[in-house]
Amino acid sequence: MQIITPPFKGENKGHYSAGVISRGTLYVSGQLSIDPDTREVCKGDIKDHARLALNNVDRVLREAGCSRSDVVFCRVYTPDVKYWGPINEVYSEFFGTHKPGRVIVSTTELHFGCLVEIEAVAEVPRQ
């Protein structure tokens, strides 16, 4: 098992790793819409939250030597199903023609008031 930790300021607030590679698969822990440099929650609209969470997923992917096209599945959490449309729009822009499996889960609320949290599973390219 290999722990993946992209550079960021501060410390994780919970007992987890940003990513873990096991048997050729990368598991990206839920990435919130928090700026990795300032550690502040996104102040924009739902699309801004989705972009930031996806960019945080991308940082973990890149640190592990993966790309967006290596993602096979994502789980997206949001506190209100009304956000499905805007999240889907940003998600589509992020992945382009690549369409990994996905589920969107409506929750009551997310940590720190974030509007999006995204976890991912990716195949690690053979070296």
CATH number of the domain enclosing 109: 3.30.1330.40
Question: Is pLDDT of 43 > 90?
Answer: yes
Q: What is the mean pLDDT of the chain?
A: 94
- Give the end-to-end CA distance of the chain in Å, rounded to a whole number: 16
The reported pLDDT for the residue numbered 15 is 82
- What total number of domains does the chain contain? 1
Q: What is the mean pLDDT of residues 36-55?
A: 95
Domain that holds residue 32: 2-123
10 pLDDT band, cuts 50/70/90, is low
Question: Is pLDDT of 5 > 90?
Answer: no
Identity at 115, one-letter amino acid code:
L
The reported pLDDT for the residue numbered 90 is 98
Residue 40 is given by DSSP the state: P
Question: Is pLDDT of 121 > 90?
Answer: yes
Instruction: Give the C-alpha separation, 63 to 67, whole Å.
Output: 10
Question: Using one digit for the tens of pLDDT, what is the confidence trace for 52-97?
Answer: 999 999 999 999 999 999 999 999 999 999 999 999 999 999 999 9
CA atoms within 13 A on the CB side of 44: 13
Q: What is the mean pLDDT of residues 41-55?
A: 97
